[in-house]
Amino acid sequence: MNLPDLKEARKRTDKKVDYLENDNNIKKIFENKKYFLKTYGCQMNVHDSEEIRKYLEMLGFTSTDNLEDSDIVVLNTCAIRENAHDKVFGYLGRCKHLKKEKPGLIVAIGGCMSQEENVVNEIKTKHPYVDIVFGTHNINELPKLILNAKGKLDIEVYSNEGNVFENVIYSRDSKIKAWVNIMYGCDKFCTYCIVPYTRGKQRSRKMDKILEEVIDLKNNGYKEVTLLGQNVNAYGKDLEENYDFATLLENVAKTNIERVRFVTSHPWDFTDEMIDIIAKYENIMPYIHLPLQSGSSKILKLMGRRYTKEEYLELYKKIKSKVKDVAITTDIIVGFPNETEEDFNETLDVVEKCKFDGAYTFIYSKREGTPASLIKDSIDLKTKEERLYKLNELINKYSKEANEKYLDKNVKVLVEGISEKDSTKLFGYTDTMKLVNITGDKSNIGKIVNVKITDAKSFSLDGEICNG
């Protein structure tokens, strides 16, 4: 995979889709038609789906959860792991079948898998009933592609790579909390990771545009924003302006929106200034997702992570000591090629030292085109699965312990809605990103309330709203 030099190509573009906004007849084209939208992957994709949904709604579609009932299927895919690939092709099988009964069905695939050449080739050769393949850089072209769908494959993937779009319109999932992209792509090129290839090189948005968006959200009643990027700590490094993530974070905090979050933080780019700003502002939430990936310095080097075990532990300690009551979660990969038992034990050692609040754990998955895919691997799958199991047991033990510290305490929770599992309960998150199922009145939805914690489980807390 060859990446173009994006410094040259980069443009800042107004992404308004005028032709949709100005043409009242367009909405009638798909009136009474339904869309089925399925999203895989990280928060980037979740947020991109909010853009996709906006366009579908502007074209007149309404939503359905039933694929068989739909007139357009849009799959927003992820390329990180093999099983996501299998699921997507499973859905495509259903679409192929459905298209026999409903020839007018439009099938569209977007997201990170669409940016993989081998996937596009697979679709071309084996799944010609797919109508549209669009990429992560040109979501704004989706309405045009849908309007032009003629029942034959239309691939529009790589165009506009390197642009930074502004004034993007979204149909947001929530009226309480919102995602805000601060940058696109990633420049880190960790050796196992496909993201820099599927999302392109790092492109930061200008700070004033981000602040405008946050202020607009605040004025529209939003209580929380999460600043989004694959490596938020590197924000601004690709811009000529002399500002960085610490400056951005401080300015976002100064808008006085009630809660500010950010994800994901790369340890290598985490500065002392950032820690000080997080500690200084009450509306910056004391929660940091700080992917470790491995506890072995040897494996970290092979991964191209640019820090050692000791450096990670030092940063961890610094954050814990400066940011009061901070919660820290992480990502860990087991079974990187040639990870020995000693390497794995180093990972367990870091988990024991850090006692993370939680972690996403993965078995290494070989990604075509990445440097790590060329390393010959001698470790069998069974060993990797055993390591994952052992790691998860330890992670779960510490996340339960972290939750138990909340028992009988009063904490602030932003109430987001009615619990999916129990319709008599509400749910929300603490400052530290703990999920709480709450007994209380519906009128509290959208408010930050005091909750007394009555029970602590491995992955959630129970509580009741209390006054004062």
Cα 120–124–129 angle (5° rounding)?
Answer: 115
Query: How far apart are the C-alpha atoms of 402 and 160, rounded to whole Å?
Result: 45
- For 218-348, list the strands marked E by DSSP: 224-228, 259-263, 287-289, 327-334
DSSP characters over 179-203: EEE-EES-S---TT--HHHHH-S-E
* By CB under 6 A, residue 137 contacts ligand F3S: no
The strand pairing partners of 441, in sequence order, are none
Backbone phi, psi, residue 411, to 5°: -130, 160
109 binds, among ligand SAH, ligand F3S, ligand SF4, none (CB under 5 to 8 A by kind): none
Assess 231 for contact with ligand SAH (CB under 6 A). Answer: yes
In terms of CB distance, is 9 or 375 closer to ligand SAH? 375
Note whether 367 binds ligand SF4 by CB under 6 A.
no
Report residue 79: phi and psi, to 5°. Answer: -110, 5
Q: Indicate which of ligand F3S, ligand SF4, ligand SAH, none lies near residue 78 (CB less than 5 to 8 Å, by partner kind).
A: ligand F3S
With beta carbons less than 8 A apart as the criterion, state whether 232 and 262 touch: yes
User: Which helix (H) or strand (E) segment is 347 a member of?
Assistant: helix 341-354
- Under the binding rule (CB under 6 A), the answer on residue 266 touching ligand SAH is yes
Region from 181-189, 382-390, 397-405, 416-424 binding ligand SF4, contact rule CB under 6 A = 181-189
Q: Which of 76, 231, 347, 430 binds ligand SF4 (CB under 6 A)?
A: 231
- Name the minimum Å distance from CB 210 to ligand SF4: 20
Calpha distance 233→246 (Å, rounded): 8
Q: Is 193 in the site for ligand SF4 (CB under 6 A)?
A: yes
Task: Name the binder of 44 from ligand SF4, ligand F3S, ligand SAH, none, CB < 5-8 A by kind.
Answer: ligand F3S
Nearest to 180 by CA among 274, 259, 288, 109: 259
Report in angstroms the alpha-carbon separations of 180 from 18, 141, 226.
22, 21, 6
Name the residue nearer to ligand F3S (CB basis): 365 or 460: 365
Q: How far apart are CA 88 and CA 393, in angstroms?
A: 30
Q: Does 264 bind ligand F3S (CB under 6 A)?
A: no
Between CA 39 and CA 88 the distance in angstroms is: 10
What span, in angstroms and rounded, lies between the C-alpha atoms of 463 and 434? 12
Judged by DSSP in three states, 393 sits in: helix
As a whole number of Å, the end-to-end CA separation of the chain is 58
Does 41 interact with ligand F3S (rule: CB under 6 A)? yes
Helices (H) and strands (E) in the chain, counts: 15, 21
Does residue 80 bind ligand F3S (CB under 6 A)? Answer: yes
The span of 2-10, 39-47, 259-267, 296-304 binding ligand F3S (CB under 6 A) equals 39-47
Phi then psi dihedrals of residue 27, to 5 deg: -60, -25
Q: How far is the CB of 273 from ligand SF4 (least distance, A)?
A: 20
Residue of closest CB approach to ligand F3S: 41
Is residue 37 at the binding interface for ligand F3S, with CB under 6 A as the rule?
no
Angle at 42 between CA 40 and CA 45, to 5 degrees: 65
SS3 of residue 317 by DSSP: helix
Site string for ligand SF4, 134-173 (x = CB under 6 A): ----------------------------------------
CB of 194 to ligand F3S, least distance (A): 6
Site string for ligand SF4, 257-276 (x = CB under 6 A): ---------x----------
For position 139 contacting ligand F3S by CB under 6 A, the verdict is: no
Q: Which is nearer to ligand SF4, 236 or 440 (CB)?
A: 236
Quick check: 179 binds ligand SAH (CB under 6 A)?
no
291 binds ligand SAH (CB under 6 A): yes
Q: Which does 249 bind (CB under 5 to 8 A by kind): ligand SF4, ligand SAH, ligand F3S, none?
A: none
Task: State yes or no: residue 78 binds ligand F3S (CB under 6 A).
Answer: yes
The footprint of ligand F3S (CB under 6 A) covers 41-42, 44-45, 78-80, 111-112, 194-195, 198-199
Positions touching ligand SF4 (CB under 6 A) are 186, 188-190, 193, 195-196, 230-231, 266
Give contact residues for ligand SAH (rule: CB under 6 A). 80, 192-193, 195, 230-231, 264, 266, 291, 293, 331, 333, 362, 364-365, 367
